[in-house]
Each structure stands twice: as C-alpha cells, then as structure tokens.
Structure 1
Amino acid sequence: MTAFSIYAHASGNGVLLGTSDKGRVYNVTNDGRETLVLQTDANQISTIRSDGKSLIATSSNPGSMFRFGSDQSGEGSYDSAVLDSKGSSTWGRIWWRSSGNVTIQTRSGNTEKPDETWSGWSTAQTDAKGGQIASPKARFIQWRAVLKSAASLSEVSMAFVARNIAPEILSINVLPTNVGLAANPPVQIDPNIEIAGMDPVSFGIANPPVPPRRLFQRGATSLQWAAEDRNGDKLVYDVFYKEIGDAAFKQLRDGITENFLAIDGQTLADGRYIFKIVARDTPSNPLTMALAGEKLTEPVDIDNTAPVITTVGTPQISGDKARVTFDATDAASYLTRAEYSINGGEWKTVYADDGISDGPKERYTIEIPTPTAGEYAVTLRVYDVNANSGNARQIVRKY
C-alpha cells in the first residue's frame, strides 16, 4: 500500500490514507489497525477533505469526487477482487465472518475481467454459516458483499475444485552413452510434518527438486525429462520402449517418482529404439479422475558391440622401419577414433588411411621404428561412436 494523500481525524484517533493502489481509502487507527472504507475505479486518491458533514475524496486517472463519512448510510456494497482458480472449476460452499446484516452474492466467468460473458449476480445468501455457490462452472469468480446499517465483514471463504488438467511432458533429454544418473540425497524434512500432511514451505523449508548427479556407467542410456502439471498435482512416471519396426511399446519401468532414469543398455539388443515417458497425476486424484500425458524421444541407438579388428597381411620391414596394417569393422554403428601402442607403451593417435575415422569399416596403416633386431608388439585399439572399443595385436619380428 502506497499512501498518496492523508487526512487526520479530528478525534486524534488515527488517519485516513488515500492510496495510489487501485484508488482506495483506508482508516488506520493509532494502534495500526487498517480498515478499507472506500474503493474506487480510479488509479489514485489525490486529496481527502471534510466539508463539516462528511468527507470528500478526489481522484485522478480519471478525475472524480466521492462523498463518504462517519455517519452510517442505509446500505453499502463491496466487490472482491477476481479469483483465478487456474482452470474450469466446480464451486462449493461460501461462508463468512461478519456482524450485523450482511448478504453475499457471486458471479463467474472465463475472462480475467468481468464482462458481458460472465454470469449475472446470484441470489443473495444471508446465512454467514454458508451455502452452496450458485454460479456456473468457470475459471474466474467474484463475490459481492452488501452491508446494511452498522454491519461489518471481516472474512470470506469459499471452496472449489478445479477441473483436472492432464500433466504434460515438456522435454526429454537423452544423455550420451555411458553417462549414468544417480539420485542425490533429498533435503531432510521432519517426518512429523509429512505425517501431518503439511507443506514444508509453511515452516520455511524450501524443497526444490534436487537434480541427479552424473557418473560413468558402462553401456548406460540415461533419460532426463521435464514435466508440468497445471493443477500442481504430484506426478509419477512410466517408461516404455520399442525397437523401430516393432508394433507396440513394452513397459520398462512404472511408478517412478524422479524425473530421470538410467537404463542399462546392455539389457537391450543392438538397434534403434524409441522411448516413451508417461506422466500420471494418480497420487493427487482418484483413479477415475486421474489423467496422463506422454512424449516420445527421437530414435536412440543402442550399440553394445565392440569393433572387430583384424590384421592384414604380414608386417613390411624396410631398414629401421616396419609397416603393419589393420582392418576395423563395426556392425552396429560407425568408428570414431583409433590409437596404437608399441610393446605396451603409451597410446598414440592414428588416423584411418582415408584421413578420418567415420565409417563402419576403416583401414589403418601404422609405421613404427625398428632400430634393433627383436620382436615388436603393435596393438591397435579402435572406438565406435558409443565408446565401445576393440583391439588386435600384430607381432613384428626383425632379424
């Protein structure tokens, strides 16, 4: 609340404050209690004055004049702010705390600001203990209180159930092969809070999702996904898969509470697969009302087969050098890099004979120094795109 104008009561007990927030006038007593006494359609209350009988407030944007005062009029009304239920809702009961003669009406609609598409004001309810809201199902609702004589109203409550909206999988991220995922320890919460069914945020405990940690896991195919539920429902996930060409998906996991899964790729045969993530809001809804949303991945290559390396011919020795040749073949994907070692020494990079390792079959020719007579063990190691590796050895004998 930002005060734009002020008027001191002649009695000395507090002031009236005109605000620049929705053109309101508040009565503020010396002990700090606030009471809304005037609400207008203007942007701000510019001045508050007395003419000896009543109070007059002037506003700007637009310019208007409002007369009010301490004398009790026969009747007054107050329109609440519009409540957004975030979806088409079924309205329950409305009840309130008041003194004196107070009645409540409601209206509803599907636009943020009431217009001609909204329902009319309902029949007034007179029992503060509450009654069924008569306004039709909609996303937005507003109530109006009519107060007579010296009546006052301190609180209004209403119940509603928003129409369940299916959850949505926003995105799926397929991590590189051999990158596994593991859950990090969650934030520790007093179990009594959970038993009571209370929100930890009420106790100042932030409980954001903790992302998983990444680790090396041979053959792993890891999926991470982001999901949204517009009702704020708790979600669980099911994961399905099928090889391209299969007719139906097969269930891989069900009832996952995390938004990730590390799949042991070695449990699947080499091939191209599609994974399906299904999000369900069953933890927050009866089975007959629960909904689900799903999303598919792009095709994912599963390749657990290492390249096959074979020697070609016999080593060619010329002076202090020898040349050895290998062929490398990968049945499930393509080759990406190669390296060789002499007599168990350090690995050194070698390029394919055509200049780049990028196909399912490549030839590698390696030239090594042979300064003295003896045996030289040349080992070639080749990797495919999924980090599978195969190797072969060729013995060079110089006499």
Structure 2
Amino acid sequence: MTKMRSSLRPLVRRVSSVVLVAAALLAAPHAVAVGTRNFTLNTLDDLKGGDLTGVALDSNGNVYAGLNLGSTPIPDATSVWSAVVLPDGAALLGTGSEGKIYRAVGGQVSVAATTGQMAVSSMAVAWNGDVIAGTFPEGKLYRLTGGKGSGEQAKVFAELPGAEDVWGLAYDEKAKVLYAATGPEGKLFRIDAAGKPQVYFDSDEPHLMSVAVGDDGSVYTGSNGKGLLYKLNGPGRASVLYDFDADDVKAIVVAPTAQGGAVYAIANKYSEPFAAPKRTKTGPPSPQPTRSSKPGKGQLVRFTREGVIEKLLSDDDTHYVSLGLGDDGAPYVGTGAEGRLHTVSENRVERVVADTEERQIGAFVLAGKRRFVATTDPAVFHEVRGVGGADAVWTSKVLDAGLRATFGRLTWRSDGALQLETRSGNTDAPDTTWSPWSAALAAPGDVKSPPARFVQIRARWNQEPKAVLREVSLSFVTDNARAVIRSISVKNQSKGTKPGVQASGGEAPKPSSSVQISWQVDNPDQDELRYRLWYRMEGQKPWRALLKAGEKVTRTEHTWDTTAMPEGEYRVLVEATDELSNPPDRVQKHSLESGVVLVDNTPPVFKSLALQGRRLRGEVVDGLGPVSRIEVSIAGSDEWRPLFPSDGVFDEPAEAFDADISAIVPAGSHLVAVRAYDSAGNVVTRDVDAR
C-alpha cells in the first residue's frame, strides 16, 4: 500500500474564529455573510497536516528549510527493516524482499547478498567490520565478511536454539560479543566470534524486540507483550528499568558516556495484538508482522544514567518504527504512518525534519559522514544531501470553509524572503477541477484564487535556506446560507412527546407554570443568530409576541412563564434570523411552528364525593383535561393507592369513579383522603369520613 499524500486526504479543519460545521456544498445564493473569518496556522498541528517536502517545522509554529533528500528506489523490495553503515561509507539495507541485503553507494543500489528468509530484520557491524544479519522465520544469523557481498547466498553464521525471529542485534565492542533479541520464547542470546550462542537472559515475555549496549557494558533489551524495558548487569541478572503502558519496546539507543550516557527507547501501543509472520506453503511470505492496518500510538522516552525517566515525544496518530541519534546527540524517530522523521531538542521543542512520500521510515542514520533515510511501502533509499534547496516547499493541509467562500488577504510572518501561493476547489481532495496555483506573492496581499469551499496554501523557500515562516493567515467570507430550524421541543407538551408505550403508575407529575422551549437549528455558515418567538391559542389566527419588547434571544432555548395566560392549547412559532451578521438587504430568515402546548395552571375539582360504608363514589372535572389520576389514602398515611375511573380509562375532562376501598381502609373510624390530578400535574385533595 502506497502512502496517500496528506495534502490529498480529508482533514480536520481548524478555523481561528469559529469551528465550522462541515456541510454539503450548497448552490450559492447571492447573499454574502458580513462576518470575515480567518484560517490561522501557527502551531505544529496546524502546520504539519499537509506536504512538507524539503522543509522542517517545530512545535513553536516555525517552518524552515529541512533535510534535502535524494530518492533512489530499491528494486524488487517493498520494505526496509534494518540498516548499517560500513567504514567505506556504503550503506547496507536489510529488506523484506526474500531476505535480500542491498548495498547503497554513489546513488546506486545493488543486491549485496541473499538469505532466502522472509526478512533481514536486524543487522550489526561486529568483528573486524563483518556484518551480521538477523532474520526470520528460522532464527538464523548470516555473516558478510567485511560487509561485502557478491549478490549471492550469504553464509550462515549461527543458528539460535528455539528462536524463529531475530528482532534486534547489538555488538559489544569491548567484550567482542554479539547480543540477539529473539522470539517466540523471549530469549536474549550472547554469541561469540565463533558463532557459539548462549542464552544470556530468558524472559517471561513471548518476544524480545530490541537490544542495545552502552559503552560501559550495560545491556538493555525491550519486550513485546507487556512492553518491558530490562537492564542486565550479567547473565540472567535482569531488572525492569520501566514498565510501559504499551505493547512493545521497539528500539533502544544508548548515548555515549561523553554525551551523558542516557538511554532512549521508543514504545508503541497497537489496536490489535502482535503476531509474528509465518511462512506459508501456498503463498509468498508477509513482509511485516501481522498488525491492524490502523496506526498505533508511539512514545519516545529518555532515561538518565540515574534511571530518571522523561517522556520526550508522544503521538496518538502513529506508532514509531525506528530510532537513532544525530551528530548533536539529539534523538530522532521514524514514524509508522506518514513516513516522517521527528526529533526533539533539549528544551523540548519538537521538530518534523523530513516528510517522505512513503508510508514508514524503516531505518535511518543521521550521524557521521554518511546520512540517509530508508523507507517502506515502497522501499526507497533517501540520501541526505544537505539542508534546503530549490525543492523546499511547505503545503498546508486542505482548509475547509464549510461553504463556498470568497478569499481575501493572505498574510504571514517570516524571517527572510518567501513566496506564497494558493489554489482552491470544491472537492476535499485536490484534483483536476481545482484551480491552478496562483501567482506567487512575495509580500502579504489579496488572494487571486476563485471562490470555493476548499483552499490550500504553499510557501517556497527558493534560494533562501535560512528563511523561517512563523504564521500564515487567510481571510475569507462564506456565502450567506439560511439557518433552518429543524425541530421544536416543549417540555410539558401533552401529546406525542414520547414514542412507544409509556410506563404506568410511578411518581405523580409536578405542576409548573413555566414551559421549557428548545429548538435545533442547522446553521451552515455559523452566522450569529437571533431568535424571535410568538404564540397563539388553538382556533385563533393572530400570532402574539412571546418575548418582551427589546428582549434578545441568541440561545436555542427559552422559558415561557404562563402564569398570566388563559388556560388552553397553544402553539409556539420560532423564527431564526441572521440579522446580527448581515445588513438588512442580506438577512435570511426561517421559522417553524411547534406542536400543541398545553397551558393549564388550575387544578381539577370534585363535582361529587361520597363514601357509603366502604364504597367510594364521585366525579372529578377539569377545565381542560384530561383527568389523569385519582388516588386514595388513609389521612396521615404516606401510602396512596390508585383508583380507576368507571369507564376504565383516564381520557376525558370529567371522570366518574365507583370503587370498593375495603382492602385499603380497614374497619373502624378513619379519615379518608382522595386526590385527583389533571394531565398538567395540577392536584386537588378532599377528605371524607369512614365509619
């Protein structure tokens, strides 16, 4: 799978003044909203969403010339797993293409050796400059004398008992031994110059994924499973340096003692469990361990020589694949999505220093005379040719105005001369229907790109490698789309407020003269809206103002005090207008009428009530109705028992009842309380004597 460029995919849109509602492109009306808005890009998240060819950017919102990368495809390979640099400056690349090792020098790439394995997952320069290559799925080590090869089958140097996957190799220059991190038994092997392996550490984890050796002889290894980072001070003598909230410790690097001796590690959390690839009889081997196609979450941490941990980088959008130190001792990480190279300074300023066309940074070297970046999907060798150049171009992510917009002034802050351009279109991914890039602006000015929903901005460094772009802002005005009220909700609405069968019994409703009105609005261009409300009684024609004179409602809710209103059924009309954002001749309006709203602040009355023995008879009448509930209790008791009306259903303004209450009121003299509710929750209570 090849990497889709960030500038050509749907993006999260950031707008400085408002967060626009993503809406389908509408037929453009003539009215234009007055409110001017801005796309302002001045943070790392704002600036990194697009194409970063030949530029770098940092977490302070600065964009400047970055690594100038060459591009040499690696034939017949799709993935790069490992890399080393030889004393003569040549780079060896371990790939997932039939376990081939490629040699890159002088802009040319050729096959140095073949292992016949699924992948060369790790390499190290060891005894006398020989290169040892670790592979899977047979757990073999291969040796290239002096790092040279004729393109033929490499010689097996050692086989590691019980190992199927060799994930990491590290050479101890002082002790003249090689360490191999393996799976699926989670063992760390120590191999001498004769190729004799010994188990140096047997962990409880299924895989040890990484290994590194400090110049003081300390050995570190990281696991897959619980994400543990171990420190070993001798055979079998391991302590857990850190337990990550992660699935694996993918790579470890130890800085030289002269640079502080800190230990750096990258750890990842994935969306699906890890499964090592297996050779199949019916098809070609998978070039990568089986994981979800979705990127994981990565973190870079540093441990001081005293063991104090500091988290330097974290990314919830991608996992980290590769790790290394630069000439300045700063750590660099290669990502598993977007194919980018990140670093972080001592004062915690994060930088993206390279953005490749490929999906992953499989391996890289950024220290010494030979510097390069090797990528996966597809496999490409990028030699670092310097900083800046004619190809240094920053392209923003696709910016979405939500509706068709007219673009105004493009401004930026910079040190040094830059040239900025724009293009626009009505698809969320730039295609042939987009406008061409506009004429370059050497100073802030008006944009010439035609009105459209989407826009992109790009900056060219040309021959100004020291120029720094600090902030970009583009003003725009969208078409004035009408806000539409989709629905009105009234809290005490008596009819049709809830679908389905309602629960019977339960707590009695509580009366209130306040009616809670709320409404939902589609506001495509996010104009500031004002709402007006009217009411009318059912059967009448005129609408009357619900709001007081001069009262301004801008929220999508209002409380209507009906204390002084006559009882009856009403309807409410809500109007939305964008007059606060537009002059009178441009104003757009929309209104919607509610369902029936019951205004009832008067309780029902007992037309009759009598108790003969234990036979209770009576009639309850309400002005609006329906009567919704009749209950009986022994006065002073908190236990109320329901009674049904004579016709069995509470559905009329007048309800008669005739009930034997002997099961509720025992023999003897009692005061019996009877209460009745209407549908608005208004209640009346009467007492009768029981003898």
Return the TM-score normalized by structure 2: 0.43
Q: Deviations over 1:359-380 (max 9, x none)?
A: 33332336789x9xx9x99886
Match of 2:456 among 142, 145, 148: 142
Distance 2:568 2:538 in 1: 8
* 1:383 equivalent in alignment to 2:671: no
Match of 1:365 among 635, 658, 674: 658
Match of 1:97 among 413, 424, 433: 413
Match of 1:160 among 449, 456, 475: 475
* 1:252 equivalent in alignment to 2:551: no
Distance 1:48 1:395 in 2: 96
Distance 1:145 1:316 in 2: 92
Match of 1:277 among 545, 567, 574: 574
Contact 1:3 1:17 (8 Å CA) reproduced:
yes
Judge which range, 57-66 or 385-394, deviates more.
Answer: 385-394
Q: Which residue pairs with 1:58 in the alignment?
A: 374
Judge which range, 142-151 or 157-166, deviates more.
Answer: 157-166
Contact 2:493 2:597 (8 Å CA) reproduced:
no
Distance 1:36 1:379 in 2: 79
Distance 2:614 2:368 in 1: 115
Distance 1:9 1:311 in 2: 96
Distance 1:16 1:367 in 2: 87
Distance 2:387 2:558 in 1: 69
Q: 1:265 to 1:58 in 2, by over 3 A?
A: same
Q: Deviations over 1:87-107 (max 9, x none)?
A: 322212113334554211110
Q: Which residue pairs with 2:322 in the alignment?
A: 5
Stretches of structure 1 that go unaligned for 5 or more consecutive residues are: 179-214
Distance 1:366 1:37 in 2: 86
Q: Which residue pairs with 1:82 in the alignment?
A: 398
Contact 1:341 1:380 (8 Å CA) reproduced:
yes
Q: 1:216 to 1:308 in 2, by over 3 A?
A: closer
- Deviation at 1:217? 5.8
Distance 2:581 2:622 in 1: 49
Q: 1:391 to 1:64 in 2, by over 3 A?
A: same
Stretches of structure 2 that go unaligned for 5 or more consecutive residues are: 1-314, 495-508
Q: Deviations over 1:17-56 (max 9, x none)?
A: 5333422235666665555443233222223358998754
- Deviation at 1:170? 5.2
Q: Deviations over 1:60-97 (max 9, x none)?
A: 22333434422664453232222223332221211333
Q: 1:177 to 1:122 in 2, by over 3 A?
A: closer
Q: Deviations over 1:248-275 (max 9, x none)?
A: 5332025224543332334333333221
Distance 1:345 1:85 in 2: 67
1:103 counterpart letter in structure 2: Q
Contact 1:86 1:162 (8 Å CA) reproduced:
no
Contact 1:19 1:45 (8 Å CA) reproduced:
yes
Distance 2:368 2:671 in 1: 111
Distance 1:322 1:72 in 2: 100
Q: Deviations over 1:214-243 (max 9, x none)?
A: x96643332234556455555443222223
Distance 1:218 1:299 in 2: 17
* 1:239 equivalent in alignment to 2:497: no
Q: Which has the higher strand share?
A: 1
Q: 1:288 to 1:21 in 2, by over 3 A?
A: farther
1:133 counterpart letter in structure 2: V
2:392 match: secondary structure: strand
Q: Which residue pairs with 1:205 in the alignment?
A: none
Q: 1:67 to 1:6 in 2, by over 3 A?
A: same
* 1:262 equivalent in alignment to 2:559: yes
Contact 1:177 1:220 (8 Å CA) reproduced:
no
Judge which range, 228-237 or 80-89, deviates more.
Answer: 228-237
2:679 counterpart letter in structure 1: V
Match of 2:646 among 334, 353, 361: 353
Larger RCO, structures 1/2 (Cα 8 Å, 6+ apart): 2
Match of 2:630 among 334, 338, 343: 338
Q: 1:308 to 1:41 in 2, by over 3 A?
A: same
* 1:221 equivalent in alignment to 2:515: yes
2:676 counterpart letter in structure 1: V
Distance 1:31 1:322 in 2: 88
Q: Deviations over 1:158-197 (max 9, x none)?
A: 232342444454543322389xxxxxxxxxxxxxxxxxxx
- Deviation at 1:13? 6.3
2:546 match: secondary structure: strand
Return the TM-score normalized by structure 1: 0.69
Report matched runs for 1:305-324 at 5 Å: 306-311=603-608, 321=613
Aligned length: 351
Percent of aligned positions with the same letter in both sequences?
27
- Deviation at 1:108? 1.0
- Deviation at 1:58? 2.6
- Deviation at 1:135? 0.8
Q: Deviations over 1:117-175 (max 9, x none)?
A: 21111111122xx0101111222211122222243232242232342444454543322
Distance 1:281 1:94 in 2: 27
Q: Deviations over 1:335-394 (max 9, x none)?
A: 22234689x77677543233444333332336789x9xx9x9988653322234457788
Q: Deviations over 1:292-324 (max 9, x none)?
A: 554432222333454454349xx797xxx3867
- Deviation at 1:290? 5.2
Q: 1:137 to 1:334 in 2, by over 3 A?
A: same
- Deviation at 1:5? 3.4
Q: 1:14 to 1:349 in 2, by over 3 A?
A: closer
Q: CA RMSD in A?
A: 4.4
Q: 1:15 to 1:234 in 2, by over 3 A?
A: same
